[in-house]
Structure 1
Amino acid sequence: MKSVVLVVRILALAWLLSGLPALAQEIRQPIERNGRITVVCQVGEVAITGGDEAVLTVTTDGNPATVKVKQLAGGAYDISIDPPVIPHRLRITVPREASLQEVRTRNANVTVRAVAAANVATVSGGVLVEQVPGPVNVTTMSGRIRLTEVGTVQLRTVSGDTQVQAVTGSVMVSAVSGKLEASHIGGDLTAQLVSGNASIRCSRGRVDVSTFSGEVRLSRLENEVVVETTSGNVFFVGALTPVKRCTINALSGDIRLAVPETCGFETRFKSFSGTLKSDFPVGGADASGSGPDTEPLPGPGAPPPPPRHGRFVVWRHGDGAAKVLLSTFSGTVSFVRADPEAEPPCHQP
């Protein structure tokens, strides 16, 4: 009887242990500090971190025999799973100076930290890249993307939402329906969207956004702004930048600008059947060149000036330093006074 109980206990313990993940297995390979790494893992999770050692370390919760590490010509190293459909959680450590030449997955999530450069391609897996001073290229179908503290960005997605912040260089984004949030961009930002919304704030370089029907929100921008949209609405908050142009073209979308009273600007409004509404006095020349250059400000509590309708209106506020070009076919353009302190100041995340 005792022997039967002992056998039952052993079988029960074996069943419990079979349900636990396998102990982590580690593969170590000395590599050059500036080595180039390629990782292919279709299913599971991949985390790659830069370290101080000139060693490539791969840790997996699966069978280490299925993890293949090959040294290629020219200082490149290839990490892959064979057979590729087996799920793996890979923890990879490389020298900080190493570059991720390619990280390719199907639906595995990818995390990259503290390497020189990264190139990631996935179908539906999420992508997180942090502390990469060099170029970062990401391609995805629907995976969520978050990039922070990186050098430059090139990003292509179909429907994945994207968050980009603390970029020292330029940003280029191409998306169909994914939402874009970008902040604290040191270089130029170019975004080509179809129906995705875009929110961009605290950018020091030129901002160029084109969209078909997505909504565009802009705030705390320090350089030239160009927005092209068909039916999407455009919202601009903050001071207009002197000596630089703000150009917004909308076919049927509405345009709303909220700027401080102390901001000087010269605005050219062109429309076929659109409407111009302004908290600021609109007294500039019309299409024929007639009309005063300025109008007195309305007193406290006075109603805003009535809407203006016309094909071409030019007016000036203050010193007229900032140049604003607005055009719409049938949309409404609104100029409203904004509290300079209402929008949070820019600061590095």
Structure 2
Amino acid sequence: MKSVVLMARVLALGWLLGSLSVLAQEIRQPIERNGRVKVLCQVGEVTVTGGDEAVLTVTTDGNPSMVKVKQLADGAYGISVDPPMMPHRLRITVPREASLQEVRTRNANVTVRAVAAANVTTVSGGVLVEQVPGPVNVATTSGRVRLTEVGTVQLRTVSGDTQVQAVTGSVMVSAVSGKLEASHIGGDLTAQLVSGNASIRCSRGRVDVSTFSGEVRLSRLENEVVVETTSGNVFFVGALTPVKRCTINALSGDIRLAVPETCGFEMRFRSFSGALKSDFPVDGTSTGVSVPDTEPPSGPGVPLPPRHGRFVTWRHRDGAAKVLLSTLSGTVSFVRADPEAEPPCHQP
């Protein structure tokens, strides 16, 4: 009986000490509302959330004595784990006006919400940033990245997949093999890719994409479009407007444009040995075209049969939008599209 009572007391004491440990895991530090914060956590998980208090709060499920919070020489507040490779799950709260000057991890996942700005560097950890009205800079090797409701974006990745949406300003992406999905971009978008695929939809600014072998899909764009590719295919869906100049250069990749009948455009096609197929009749002039053996059909509404040549130009309707398509050996297809086929742009 005594052994049972003793065991019960030991368990109760362990539960009490465990509760005290949990309560002691929160660290609070007064901070300026527009303060700057740096976080170093190599392994585990980091979540930073903006709040209403002018306080820096850190909660961890690990040993709280390993978490160091101090003001650095440059005035920023540093949060680190010592030893650095000890896994920790950090929950950090800062004022909404504060900036994450740096969050650096190795494979720890990072989540940032409702702060003024964020700068995140990781090797393989995933990154989620949302509701940040200022600039967001992310650098990763293979981590998956998702950015939504942010001000501007600068992103560098090697092989990590990236999803960017609801950006009020500009977007700059540099990637080797990661897949890029971007939608609802308010400013200009520039993407430099090697073999990664890119899907860009509902962008109001200029879109400039360069890739070696990745596939590029574009739809519902409202401004100038420039695409440079070596062997990747390019697909464009949507209206061509007078303010939009569309330039697509492909060495051996195929190009396919699907635009509504109501669009007016002036199209210029340059090629060495590539083919041109068009649902739109040629109403303008043709230069340097190899004429087929049989006389092609003509008249309103008759599509252009496949042609091979160096230079073809024609106008459709008022010719307001300017389109320049060039390829060395690829095939260019210019087809009619149902304007209602592509879903409209709705803010996510």
TM-score of the two chains, using structure 2 as the length reference:
0.92
1:62 alignment counterpart: 62
Q: Give, in whole Å, the separation in 2 of the partners of 1:127 and 1:18.
A: 35
Which digits, 9 at most, give the CA deviation of each residue in 1:242-285, with x for residues without a partner?
A: 13310000000000000000001000000011000111112432
Q: Give, in whole Å, the separation in 1 of the partners of 2:50 and 2:105.
A: 20
Contact 1:280–1:297 (CA under 8 A) maintained in structure 2: no
Which aligned pairs between 1:270-349 and structure 2 lie closer than 5 A? Answer: 270-287=270-287, 296-298=299-301, 304-349=303-348
1:229 is displaced (CA, Å) by: 0.3
SS in 2 for 1:213: coil
1:15 is displaced (CA, Å) by: 10
2:109 alignment counterpart: 109
2:42 alignment counterpart: 42
2:72 alignment counterpart: 72
Which digits, 9 at most, give the CA deviation of each residue in 1:151-171, with x for residues without a partner?
A: 100000000000000101100
SS in 2 for 1:284: coil
1:75 is displaced (CA, Å) by: 3.1
Letter in 1 for 2:110: V
1:128 alignment counterpart: 128
1:47 is displaced (CA, Å) by: 0.4
Contact 1:115–1:132 (CA under 8 A) maintained in structure 2: yes
Q: Give, in whole Å, the separation in 2 of the partners of 1:14 and 1:269.
A: 82
Q: Give, in whole Å, the separation in 1 of the partners of 2:142 and 2:15.
A: 37
Cα separation, partners in 2 of 1:119 and 1:250, compared to 1, 3 Å: same
Letter in 1 for 2:245: R
Cα separation, partners in 2 of 1:124 and 1:288, compared to 1, 3 Å: closer
2:102 is aligned with 1:99:
no
Q: Give, in whole Å, the separation in 1 of the partners of 2:18 and 2:178.
A: 38
Which aligned pairs between 1:154-233 and structure 2 lie closer than 5 A? Answer: 154-233=154-233
1:19 is displaced (CA, Å) by: 11
SS in 1 for 2:65: helix
2:243 alignment counterpart: 243
Letter in 2 for 1:226: V
Contact 1:281–1:305 (CA under 8 A) maintained in structure 2: yes
Letter in 2 for 1:296: G
Letter in 1 for 2:236: F
1:260 alignment counterpart: 260
Q: Give, in whole Å, the separation in 2 of the partners of 1:42 and 1:10.
A: 39
Cα separation, partners in 2 of 1:260 and 1:8, compared to 1, 3 Å: same
Contact 1:224–1:241 (CA under 8 A) maintained in structure 2: no
Letter in 1 for 2:43: V
Q: Give, in whole Å, the separation in 1 of the partners of 2:243 and 2:54.
A: 50
Q: Give, in whole Å, the separation in 1 of the partners of 2:227 and 2:336.
A: 21
1:73 is displaced (CA, Å) by: 3.3
Contact 1:32–1:75 (CA under 8 A) maintained in structure 2: no
Which digits, 9 at most, give the CA deviation of each residue in 1:284-314, with x for residues without a partner?
A: 322269x9xxx63337xxxx44211111000
Which digits, 9 at most, give the CA deviation of each residue in 1:28-61, with x for residues without a partner?
A: 0001111110000001100000111110000111
Cα separation, partners in 2 of 1:175 and 1:14, compared to 1, 3 Å: farther
Contact 1:165–1:183 (CA under 8 A) maintained in structure 2: yes
Q: Give, in whole Å, the separation in 2 of the partners of 1:42 and 1:235.
A: 41
Contact 2:231–2:251 (CA under 8 A) maintained in structure 1: yes
Which digits, 9 at most, give the CA deviation of each residue in 1:112-167, with x for residues without a partner?
A: 00111000000000000001111000000000000001010000000000000010
Cα separation, partners in 2 of 1:12 and 1:77, compared to 1, 3 Å: closer
Contact 2:283–2:316 (CA under 8 A) maintained in structure 1: no
Q: Give, in whole Å, the separation in 2 of the partners of 1:160 and 1:216.
A: 17
SS in 1 for 2:201: strand
Which digits, 9 at most, give the CA deviation of each residue in 1:64-100, with x for residues without a partner?
A: 1100001123431000000111111101000111110
Q: Give, in whole Å, the separation in 2 of the partners of 1:225 and 1:241.
A: 11
Which aligned pairs between 1:79-90 and structure 2 lie closer than 5 A? Answer: 79-90=79-90
Q: Give, in whole Å, the separation in 2 of the partners of 1:315 and 1:276.
A: 12
SS in 1 for 2:281: coil
Letter in 2 for 1:93: T
Gaps of 5+ in 1: none
TM-score of the two chains, using structure 1 as the length reference:
0.92
1:13 is displaced (CA, Å) by: 8.7
Contact 1:272–1:330 (CA under 8 A) maintained in structure 2: yes
Cα separation, partners in 2 of 1:13 and 1:258, compared to 1, 3 Å: farther
